[in-house]
A and B are shown apart, each in its own frame.
Chain A
Amino acid sequence: MSHRSSVPLAWRRFEARYRLVGNRCLTCGTIYFPPKAICPKCRRKGKLEKYQLKGEGKIHTYTIIHAAPSGFEKRVPYCIAIIELDEGPKVLGEVVGDLTLLDIGARVRAVFRKIYEDGEDGIIHYGLKWELV
């Protein structure tokens, strides 16, 4: 089964998806990932600049997927978690590596992986997953 998606849309998100570039409000210091268009705390007083996150954090909560959406069927079983990054933001992502170490609070680091393929002839989507350390 293919999972047709917009190539231009994926391309515009490379910076966030490949490299974990978020943003930071210079007024209140809050770090956002994914990057926000305006700082919700400061509104018009806020000033956002690009911010490179380190790619380390811990598992806030997780679940094991046995019935996968189309395009991911061959990956089951796999683990999806909310990762709390060391800088504060929480992100949703797949946890990989030695899943016997899986636990709330377990440390993870960002690794570059294939997310899914758009069928046999479409583009390959890459991005970050979270490896248990």
Chain B
Amino acid sequence: MKTDGKSGIVGYGCYVPMYRIKVEEIASVWGEDPERIKKGLLVEEKAVAGDDEDTATIAVEAAKNALKRACINPDDIGAIYVGSESHPYVVKPTATIVGEALGVGNSYTAADLEFACKAGTAGIQMCLGLVSSGMIDYGLAIGADTAQGAPGDALEYTAASGGAAFVIGRKNVLAKIIATASYSSDTPDFWRRPMQHYPRHAARFTGEPAYFRHIGGAVKLLLEETNLSISDFDKVVFHMPNGKFPLRMAKMLGIEKEKLADGFVVSKVGNTYSGSSLLGLCATLDKAKPKELILLASFGSGAGSDAFAIEVTDLIEEKRDLAPTFERYLNRKIYISYAKYAKMRGKLKD
């Protein structure tokens, strides 16, 4: 997909709830070996939203941080897209709650997006289109989730809460989006039907034909479009359903694993679904230097991947400290028991 080559990220911000549950705590409830699980998933603990937090509150907190770095007035925003698979309402947008909480006014377009874990990056592409065509000055794209796995399901060790927000614009960008490419197909690797609390997944099917094929496909298209080679990228962020998948993806594409380190948020936060790759991008930008080239590729089951080539500008240095970093949120934590976790996440029924 062609971009104007000038538009990009004007501000970014993340939010991670303060509660954490350790793999040991979940494993003890189900009589499983925590060491085996930690080694298998490369996840040690995950972030849990409080009972007064949901995708809307996470989106608002992340967006407030993005606005601080963007240094714009809220009413300069012309579009708000919130990507999530855990919108608080089935009918009634999260995006307008965000608009009201930020004080965007009423002159903006908005929609909630759904594409499993990649709805947030789809929002970035939509904003990029509106911004680079001159239809709007600034767009706000958010990926946020309060993901849940059924009690006892393997997903329970990783399904986590968190989100990230990006103000996309043409002026004062801290990172240019040089190009973006998507790879999509009808692949039923993971789904949730209406009225069902928890998703279902086609176990082993989630790897080869889903995650690896789609991210691999999107990255290949991105390289073709930009004439860049994979070694041109200084930092790399892939969607992180666990720690193993992104590392294996990197190996398959010939990327040194050190390039994933800055954005490898999964081991201490878990899989925040629509927030996952975008939290990784925030953590990477927190440490990025001007001129660095970042490769971002999301993945959404069902299935698709959006890849981006992002070039950091000099403005990163002055904007970085205008809002809390990912690390600040990472270190702000309270460990909870499985009982407290079950109460907080509504797993206890009347």
Contact = CB atoms under 8 A, between A and B. Distances in A.
Interface string B86-109: 001100000001001111000000
A75 B72 CA distance: 37
Interface in A10-30: 14-15, 18-19, 21
Nearest to B50: A96
Contacts, number: 46
Nearest to B89: A124
Interface string A63-88: 00000000000110000000000000
A115 B52 contact: yes
A124 B88 contact: yes
Interface in B52-106: 52-54, 56-57, 60-61, 64, 88-89, 97, 100-103
Interface residues of A, number: 19
A113 B18 contact: no
A114 B52 CA distance: 5
A50 B343 CA distance: 40
B208 interface: no
A49 interface: no
B150 interface: no
A112 B57 contact: yes
B228 interface: no
B184 to A, nearest CB: 32
Interface size class of B (residues with CB under 8 A): 20 to 34
Contact of A96 (B52, B100, B102, B103): B52
A97 B102 CA distance: 22
A114 B103 contact: no
Nearest to B101: A18
B261 interface: no
B73 to A, nearest CB: 11
Contacts of B100: 14, 18-19
B29 interface: no
Nearest to B64: A112
Contacts of B318: none
Contacts of B53: 113-114
Contact of A75 (B52, B101, B334): B52
A113 B57 contact: yes
A106 to B, nearest CB: 15
B178 to A, nearest CB: 34
B334 A98 contact: yes
Given A112-B57, A112-B101, A74 B51 contact: yes
A129 interface: yes
Nearest to A14: B100
B350 to A, nearest CB: 10
Given A74-B343, A98-B18, A113 B101 contact: no
A14 B106 CA distance: 13
B51 A112 contact: no
A128 to B, nearest CB: 9
A111 interface: yes
B18 A126 contact: no
A75 B61 CA distance: 21
B134 to A, nearest CB: 30
Nearest to A116: B52
Interface of A: 14-15, 18-19, 21, 52, 74-75, 96-98, 111-115, 124, 126, 129
Interface of B: 18, 50-54, 56-57, 60-61, 64, 88-89, 97, 100-103, 334, 343
Q: Which 10 pairs between the two chains have the least Cβ-Cβ distance?
A: A112-B60, A113-B52, A18-B101, A114-B52, A112-B57, A19-B103, A113-B57, A14-B100, A112-B101, A18-B100
Given A111-B61, A126-B57, A126-B97, 11 more contacts: A15-B103, A18-B100, A18-B101, A19-B102, A75-B51, A96-B52, A98-B18, A98-B334, A114-B53, A124-B88, A124-B89
